Structure formats: structure tokens, C-alpha cells
């Protein structure tokens, strides 16, 4: 990890800012927090951050973080890293963030390991590693395709399911999960989710793919909780 990088956060929840500050300070970053648009841009001018963590919904304004994202990309282009944060996991939200120039997307509730890993990864110079394979969100409205891929379950929690696949599935894509486990989680033939994280693995060679559940699908979430308790 590159030390002494400056991180600027904006979230109207002070508890979230404090958590991010605690997590990233322990990782060696210099963290500055903000809760309003004016405070964010004022601090942005003074500290010139290397990475910004932006909450998608601010001050009860749905999608307000998109405006900050667009403004920053117009001002500084790709000179800084930008990661969006949100409780919303719908495909269109993630697609929009990536399309507007976000480097990554973190879903709430925040997990310390996930936050650290994603911020550290954002600072990695990926292009110096010849083994790195970039991945991008597929355009949402150009063409449609259906692929049937075999994947193995690694872990399951209320947020989603972690899978292993020999095939790369780009972040932001919608997947329909089917199989014996899904039969226990839903009355439907499949569960619809969105790919929110992809990590390449060497042993075994392939990809760990995190698929987030729809937070509004209360029936599936209830079944997941019951299964976890049973386990």
C-alpha cells in the first residue's frame, strides 16, 4: 500500500464518517471528513485528496452523490480515485456510478475488511502488473446476451453471496442465480442479483465474484437469515 495518501469522505451521517476515519487511519491514510456539499468542496480545494469516498444519497437528496462525482471528473479528470458508497444495490445505481467515472462501489452496512481492501486496491498501480486483467461494467442499453455459467459457492450472508468462477463477470452486471442452494432461499427458480465486486485468484485460477441481493426482497433476506441461524 502507498503510505500518506490523502482521503476525503462525504457522508451526512457522522457515525459513518467516524468509522471510515478509524478504518483508513489505521491503514496509514490521512483522512478528512465532511457532511455537506460546501464543506466537501472547500476541503477538497485545500487538501487536494488522492481519493474521495462519496455517499450516493446526501441530505435526503436521492442520487446527490452523482452530482459530486460528475463535478469532480470535470474538474480533475481521472487524477483522483473515487469510490461511491450506498445502501442501494440496484443494478442501475451501480451502472450509473461506474458510467460517470467511479472507480468502485461499496455497499452499506460498511465492513472494515471490504473498505480497507477496496481503498488499498484503488491505489494500486494495476498497469505495472502484467497479469492484471481490467474489468468494466457492460453498457446497460446496447445489447443483451444470456450466458449459462457454472460457479461454486464460497460464502453467504445477508448482503449477498460470494462465488468462485473460472469466468470473469464484470461489476455492474445482473446475474440470475439458480441451483440447490437457491431452491432453499426462494420460491422462484432463481434469485436476481448484481455483481458488486470481482477479485482475481491464482489458487485456484479464476475469480471470486460477490453478488449482492436486492435489499427490497424481504422474502429472500428472511430465508437467508433463517439459513444462517440454522447453520
CATH architecture of 6-125: 3-Layer(aba) Sandwich (3.40)
In the chain, domain spans: 6-125, 152-230
Residues 231, 225: Cα–Cα separation, whole Å: 10
**pLDDT of the chain along its 231 residues, tens only?**
445 799 999 999 999 999 999 999 999 999 999 999 999 999 999 999 999 999 998 876 777 899 999 999 999 988 899 999 988 777 788 888 989 999 999 988 898 999 999 999 888 743 344 344 444 444 444 445 566 778 888 988 878 889 998 877 878 888 888 887 777 777 777 788 888 888 888 778 888 999 988 777 777 777 777 777 765
Q: Which three cell numbers stand for residue 14?
A: 457522522
The reported pTM is: 0.56
Superfamily of domain 152-230: predicted glycosyltransferase like domains (2.40.10.220)
Q: 159-186 burial string, b = 16+ CB within 10 Å, else e? A: bbbbbebeeebebbbbbebeeeebeebb
DSSP string, 61-103: BTTHHHHHHHHHHHHHTTSSEEEEEES---HHHHHHHHHTT-S
Amino acid at each position: 500500500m502507498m503510505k500518506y495518501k490523502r482521503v476525503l469522505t462525504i457522508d451526512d451521517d457522522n457515525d459513518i464518517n467516524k468509522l471510515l476515519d478509524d478504518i483508513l487511519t489505521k491503514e496509514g491514510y490521512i483522512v478528512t471528513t465532511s457532511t455537506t456539499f460546501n464543506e466537501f468542496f472547500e476541503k477538497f480545494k485545500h487538501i487536494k485528496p488522492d481519493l474521495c469516498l462519496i455517499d450516493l444519497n446526501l441530505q435526503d437528496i436521492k442520487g446527490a452523490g452523482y452530482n459530486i462525482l460528475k463535478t469532480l471528473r470535470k474538474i480533475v479528470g481521472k487524477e483522483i480515485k473515487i469510490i461511491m458508497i450506498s445502501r442501494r444495490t440496484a443494478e442501475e445505481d451501480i451502472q450509473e456510478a461506474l458510467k460517470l467515472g467511479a472507480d468502485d462501489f461499496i455497499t452499506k452496512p460498511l465492513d472494515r475488511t471490504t473498505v480497507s481492501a477496496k481503498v488499498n486496491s484503488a491505489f494500486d498501480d494495476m498497469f505495472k502488473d502484467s497479469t492484471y486483467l481490467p474489468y468494466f461494467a457492460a453498457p446497460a442499453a446496447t445489447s443483451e446476451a444470456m450466458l449459462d455459467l457454472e460457479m461454486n459457492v464460497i460464502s453467504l450472508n445477508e448482503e449477498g453471496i460470494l462465488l468462485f468462477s473460472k469466468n470473469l463477470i464484470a461489476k455492474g452486471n445482473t446475474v440470475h442465480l439458480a441451483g440447490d442452494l437457491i431452491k432453499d432461499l426462494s420460491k422462484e427458480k432463481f434469485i436476481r442479483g448484481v455483481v458488486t465486486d470481482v477479485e482475481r485468484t491464482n489458487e485456484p485460477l479464476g475469480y471470486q465474484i460477490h453478488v449482492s441481493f436486492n435489499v427490497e426482497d424481504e422474502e429472500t433476506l428472511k430465508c437467508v437469515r433463517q439459513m444462517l441461524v440454522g447453520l
